[in-house]
């Protein structure tokens, strides 16, 4: 490790030990239960809480870029998260940052993704804008998932909210890696994360959050090319022009392993307290070349057109059907009344899901499979807007395969 990195490590770690920021970083909305034999740090507890969450488990059946449920070798959202965790850990370890916090942020950064990848997110964004007048994006939805939706059993067996530390929650909503920028610094102020309105509005609160944000970009660039080649969306001849441009920036070949290795080492070498988490100009230009190639040849490829139409059809159909059952405080009863009349499981599953977040006064507590001690974010379903928000929460948490299963339920007789 060179002197520049050592200096970054020493100052960064001393900063955490001596100022108020570390105290703010480990704050939770509520005190988390403790055990006498607990060996984990606060951030390690966050890591395992995310690992055990249902939202994390579903990532293995969510599209990263390519919708291909039959191919075991195509990158899923869960595999992407593993790549980001690996990359960010290497960087954080080399810079002397908190690897436990880094791993926890990386583990949770994509929990808010909808089914069908970014296209599914685009569909839901349109629905939310039209029906609720709000903005939907996966970073914000990830914060909603860990704050309000995903539940874990506590030491008494009751289901409770994840209740993560501020630093991890912040890293989730601030991880947007789509913005082209180089040399990022953590912000100074501890803000209400629910006031963030759009991706990239503010930088993460911690250096570790900044590392995960950059690692997100490093992790997907080369892997998307590998998957595109595997599925024959592109071929080796398509890469020729990019090879020629890459050679100008000292890049000898284009594959995921080489890209990750060179970008990680370049970032470690060039990052400092003065320059922030930063690539060299040479590697930043190389990143821009790959991103442009991927957009031109992969993400905007015409082969995605039918997939996009299908994602729209599936998500809009589910939303439209579930929207039909709103009856104020009698909505749960109305869902119950229609369970045996229509469809095999869609209404039943939705009812089973929504009752966990409604006030007990409007539900039959015999329907609950376990005791609950979570936020009742839908109250008594006082408005149709609240009910539609519940539908959005339900759909955005779906895997690709479950969304398809729900759609097939709608069209089966």
Q: Residue-wise pLDDT tens for the chain (413 aa)?
A: 444 455 455 455 555 555 678 888 999 999 998 888 889 899 999 999 999 999 999 999 998 888 766 778 888 999 999 999 999 999 999 999 999 999 999 999 999 999 999 999 999 999 999 999 999 999 999 999 999 999 999 989 899 999 999 999 999 999 986 656 788 999 999 999 999 999 989 999 999 999 999 999 999 888 888 888 888 888 888 888 777 777 776 666 777 788 898 899 999 999 998 899 999 998 898 888 888 888 998 888 888 899 999 999 999 999 999 999 999 989 999 999 999 887 889 999 999 999 999 999 999 888 888 899 999 999 999 999 999 999 999 999 999 999 999 999 999 87
Helix (H) or strand (E) run with residue 380 in it: none
Model pLDDT, residue 1? 40
Question: At which of 284, 300, 316 does a domain end?
Answer: 300
Would you give the DSSP letter of residue 113?
P
pTM attached to this predicted model? 0.93
- Phi, psi dihedral angles at 160 (to 5 degrees): -130, 165
Closest CA to 103 of 47, 42, 49, 56: 47
On whether residue 122 sits in a domain, the answer given is no
Nearest to 266 by CA among 214, 212, 207: 214
**Same domain, yes or no: 159 and 285:** yes
Clarify whether residues 251 and 338 are in a common domain. Answer: no
**Domain total for the chain?**
2
Write the CB contacts of 359 (distance below 8 Å, at least 6 apart in sequence).
376, 378, 379, 380
Whether 160 and 172 share a structural domain? yes
Do 321 and 228 share a structural domain?
Answer: no
Does residue 367 lie in a domain region? yes
Helices in 19-52 by DSSP H: which ranges?
21-25, 42-51
Q: Which residues pair with 282 in a beta bridge?
A: none
Residue 36 sits in the same domain as residue 173: yes
Last residue of a domain, one of 255, 274, 300: 300
> Same structural domain for residues 376 and 287?
no
Write the CATH number for 287. Answer: 1.10.3210.10
Same domain, 291 and 187: yes
Query: Which residue carries 């709608």 as its tokens?
Result: 410
Look at residue 334 and tell me if it is in a domain.
Answer: yes
User: Is residue 130 in a domain?
Assistant: no
Tell me: do 264 and 311 sit in the same domain: no
Q: Could you tell me if 251 and 156 lie in one domain?
A: yes
177 and 295 in a single domain? The answer is yes
Q: Are residues 283 and 354 in the same domain?
A: no
Answer yes or no: are the C-beta atoms of 330 and 358 closer than 8 Å. no
Same domain, 392 and 351: yes
Distance in angstroms (rounded) separating the CA atoms of residues 67 and 328: 37
Give the structural domain span for 51.
3-111+150-300
The domain boundary, picked from 300, 324, 357, lies at 300
Flag whether 119 is in a domain: no
Asked whether residue 268 is assigned to any structural domain, the reply reads yes
Give the H/E segment covering residue 160.
Answer: strand 159-161
Residue with token string 């030990």: 17
Would residue 284 count as lying in a domain? Answer: yes
Confirm if 171 and 206 have CB atoms less than 8 A apart.
yes
Residue 136 lies in a domain: no
């Amino acid at each position: 490790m060179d002197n520049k990195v050592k200096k970054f490590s020493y100052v960064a770690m001393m900063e955490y030990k001596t100022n108020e920021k570390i105290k703010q970083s480990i704050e939770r909305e509520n005190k988390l239960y403790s055990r006498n034999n607990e060996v984990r740090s606060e951030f390690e507890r966050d890591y395992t809480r995310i690992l055990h969450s249902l939202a994390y488990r579903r990532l293995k059946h969510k599209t990263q870029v390519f919708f291909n449920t039959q191919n075991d070798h195509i990158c899923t959202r869960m595999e992407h998260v593993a790549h980001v965790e690996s990359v960010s850990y290497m960087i954080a370890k080399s810079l002397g940052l908190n690897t436990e916090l880094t791993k926890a942020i990386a583990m949770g950064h994509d929990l808010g993704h909808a089914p069908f990848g970014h296209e599914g997110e685009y569909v839901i964004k349109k629905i939310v804008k039209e029906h609720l007048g709000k903005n939907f994006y996966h970073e914000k939805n990830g914060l909603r998932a860990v704050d309000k939706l995903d539940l874990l059993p506590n030491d008494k067996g009751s289901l409770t909210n994840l209740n993560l530390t501020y630093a991890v929650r912040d890293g989730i909503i601030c991880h947007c890696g789509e913005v082209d920028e180089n040399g990022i610094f953590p912000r100074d102020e501890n803000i209400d994360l629910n006031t963030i309105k759009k991706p990239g509005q503010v930088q993460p609160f911690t250096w570790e959050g900044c590392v995960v944000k950059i690692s997100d970009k490093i992790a997907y660039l080369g892997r998307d090319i590998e998957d595109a080649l595997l599925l024959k969306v592109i071929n080796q001849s398509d890469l020729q022009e990019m090879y020629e441009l890459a050679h100008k920036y000292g890049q000898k070949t284009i594959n995921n392993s080489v890209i990750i290795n060179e970008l990680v080492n370049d970032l470690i070498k060039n990052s400092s307290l003065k320059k922030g988490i930063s690539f060299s100009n040479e590697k930043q230009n190389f990143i821009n070349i790959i991103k442009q190639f991927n957009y031109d040849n992969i993400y905007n490829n015409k082969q995605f057109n039918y997939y996009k139409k299908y994602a729209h059809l599936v998500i809009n159909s589910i939303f439209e059907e579930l929207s039909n059952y709103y009856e104020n405080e009698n909505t749960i009863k109305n869902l119950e009344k229609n369970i045996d009349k229509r469809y095999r499981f869609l209404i039943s599953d939705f009812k089973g899901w929504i009752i966990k977040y409604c006030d007990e006064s409007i539900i039959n507590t015999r329907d609950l499979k376990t005791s609950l001690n979570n936020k009742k974010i839908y109250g008594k379903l006082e408005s149709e807007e609240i009910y539609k928000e519940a539908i959005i929460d339900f759909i955005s948490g779906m895997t690709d395969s479950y969304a398809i299963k729900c759609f097939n339920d709608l069209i089966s007789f």
